[in-house]
Structure 1
Amino acid sequence: MLEPLGIPADAEALYVVLASLDSASLDDLAHRTQTAPGAVGTHLDSLADLGLAVALGQGRWKALPLADVVKGLKARRMAEIEAAAIAADTLHNQLLAASHSTEDDVQVFVGQTSWAEYARLCEETTTEICLFDKPPYVGGPAAHSPDELREVSPEWRALERGVSQRSVYHPGFDPERLKEMAMFAQVGEKSRTAPVPMKLILFDAKIAWIPSMPSYMPGHERRASFVRHPLIVESLVWLFNAVWDTAIPITAGTYLNGDPRRQMLISLMMSGSTDDAIANQLGINVRSVRRWIAELMDELGVTTRLQLGAALVRADSMRTTA
């Protein structure tokens, strides 16, 4: 029964005999088990190594409580397994580092080549795109319809293809940006808002696209780095998830669908944000926030913010079940 602990059957039989006695000599144990004294000595040494027996002196031995010893052995085995797991992970990381060349792991693309490579990665993504969205943005006409987005946005095409997308938007949105966010939400994008440190897109948690922020300024040529090194991408995935977990969800398709600013206002209100926080997120002043809230209260026929929250939940439930 004790073989899983590394105790041979013969040593276990010797332990059973020794445990039934207060103490015993080697010769006595040899006689009781009908085993050669040399083999008994070997088994006693094995039991002593495992903490199951102890020499008392004058050639006598005593068994130690099995339950206490097993707990100690279990703790030691667990520590050994944990140490082995850490060593295996370290070795795995070393093998990964040795098997990837720097030239393959980090590439820099400039100008139209950057955009073409980015679009290719979107098309090849099969599971999920994760995105940090932060100004500045490339200039150009805004897309106002799904057809226009389908034409210009590889992320939109990926969503329509069934790829999951999670986006964290940096606070402060102009009306055009909010309308685009609302359209993305309607085709399945999960969106939240929080301060983000950089522009970043992750493709299937395997490749990271990191644009150069200064290259988005007027007069600069667009540049971006494509990172494939597993350890670097792993760290960026961890960063994204850490920001995502603390970001405020943006409720899509809630009351007053036609005004994306009100969608954002409602999302922030439902998350418990203060008027000041809402103003900062939307890039407007506090008086505008309070005016919008007052207008919502009038339209829904309520007089307190608590009633407003309940009315908005009711309106969203009716929309969902309709």
Structure 2
Amino acid sequence: MLEPLGIPADAEALYVVLAALEDTSPEELAVRTSLSAHQVGTHLDTLADLGLAVALGRGRWKALPLTDVVKGLKARRVAEIEAAAIAADTLHNQILAASHSTEDDVQVFVGQTSYAEYTRLCNETVDEICLFDKPPYVGGPSMLSIEELREQSGEWRALERGVSQRSVYHPGFDPERLKEMALFAQVGEKSRTAPVPMKLVLFDAKIAWIPSMPSYMPGHERRASFVRHPLIVESLVWLFNAVWDTAIPITAGTYLNGDPRRQMLISLMMSGSTDDAIANQLGINVRSVRRWIAELMDELGVTTRLQLGAALVRADSMRNP
């Protein structure tokens, strides 16, 4: 019964006899069990090593409580297994590092080559694209039509063919970018807002695209690094998920679909953000936030923010039965 804990069957049988006695000698145990003196001595040593028996002196032996000993053995075995798992993980990483070719771990692309490589990765993504987005942005007008997005955005085409996309947008959105975000939400993008440390795109948790932030400034040529080293990408995936888990969801919402900034206001307000926090997120002043909230209250015929929250929930549920 105790063999899974490393206690041999013969030693267990001897323990059963020993436990029924106050204390005894090896000779008496040999008589009671029909074992040889040598066999008894060997099993007593095994029981002592396992903490199941103790020598009292003058050739006498005594059994120790089984329950306490088994709990100790179990704890020791669990600790050994955990240590083995850690050692195996360390060995795996060492083997991975030794066998992995570093030739293509990090590649740097410049200008149109960077855009072409990025587009290729979007087109080859199978499961999920994850991205951090923050200023600075490329100059020029935003792409607002679905036709332009389908033609020029690799992420849009990936969404249309069923690839999942999670995006965390840095606070502060101009109206044009909000409209573009609303279009992406309609085609399936899941978006949240939180301060992000960098621009970053992860393709299927296997490749990371890290652009040079200064290269987005006027007069600079676009540069980006494409990272494939599994341990580096693993760390970047962990960073993305840590930020995602604490970010504020941006609701696509059906109420006031024509005004993406108001959708963002509603999303932040429903998440419990203060007026100051909403103003910072939207890049406007607090007076504008309060004016928009007052306009919403008038439109929905409510007089308190609590009533406003209930009315917004009711309005959205009526449009999404």
TM bucket, shorter chain: over 0.9
CA distance in 1, matches of 2:313, 2:54: 71
RMSD over equivalenced CA pairs, Å: 0.9
Q: CA shift at 1:251, angstroms?
A: 0.6
Q: Which amino acid aligns with 1:284?
A: I
| Aligned pairs for 1:199-210 within 5 A | 199-210=199-210
CA drift of 1:131 comes to 0.5
**2:41 match:** 41
CA contact under 8 A between 1:127 and 1:164: conserved in structure 2?
yes
Distance in 1 between residues matched to 2:144 and 2:67, nearest whole Å: 73
Q: Which moves more between the two structures, 262-271 or 140-149?
A: 140-149
Contact 1:186 1:253 in 2 (8 A): no
1:50 is aligned with what amino acid?
L
Report percent identity of matched pairs: 89
Aligned-partner residue type, residue 100 of structure 2? H
SS at match of 1:208: strand
- Provide the C-alpha distance between the structure 1 equivalents of 2:118 and 2:39, rounded to a whole number of angstroms: 72
* 1:106-165 deviation line (CA, Å, top 9, x unaligned): 111111111111111111111111100011112233222222110110000101111111
Paired position in structure 2 for 1:81: 81
Instruction: State the distance in 2 between where 1:105 and 1:163 align.
Output: 25
CA distance in 1, matches of 2:100, 2:137: 33
What is the match of residue 191 of structure 1?
191
Alpha-carbon shift at residue 102 of structure 1 (Å) = 2.8
User: Residue 182 of structure 1 contacts residue 253 of structure 1 at CA under 8 Å; is this kept in 2?
Assistant: no
- State the partner residue of 2:150: 150
Determine whether 1:314 maps to 2:278. no
1:115 aligns with 2:103: no
Aligned residue runs from structure 1 range 186-265, under 5 A: 186-265=186-265
1:94 matched residue in structure 2: 94
Question: 1:200: how far off?
Answer: 0.3
Cα distance in structure 2, aligned partners of 1:244 and 1:8: 52
The DSSP-based 3-state class of the residue aligned with 2:182 is helix
SS in 2 for 1:103: coil
Counterpart in the other structure of 1:292: 292
Structure 1 moving runs of 4+ over 4 Å: none
Corresponding residue SS for 1:24: coil
The alignment partner of 1:218 has SS state of coil
Give the whole-Å Cα distance in 1 for the aligned partners of 2:289 and 2:12.
78
Alpha-carbon shift at residue 254 of structure 1 (Å): 3.1
Residue type of the alignment partner of 1:113? T
Scaled by the length of structure 2, the TM-score of the pair is 0.98
**Paired residues, number:** 321
Aligned equivalents of 1:26, 1:152: Cα separation in 2: 87
* Residue in 2 that maps onto 1:14: 14
Q: 1:103 Cα shift?
A: 2.4
Deviates more, 1:92-101 or 1:295-304: 92-101
Unpaired runs of 5+ in structure 1?
Answer: none
Equivalent AA in structure 1 for residue 19 of structure 2: A
CA distance in 2, matches of 1:295, 1:160: 36
2:279 maps to 279
In 2, Cα distance between the equivalents of 1:99 and 1:180? 44
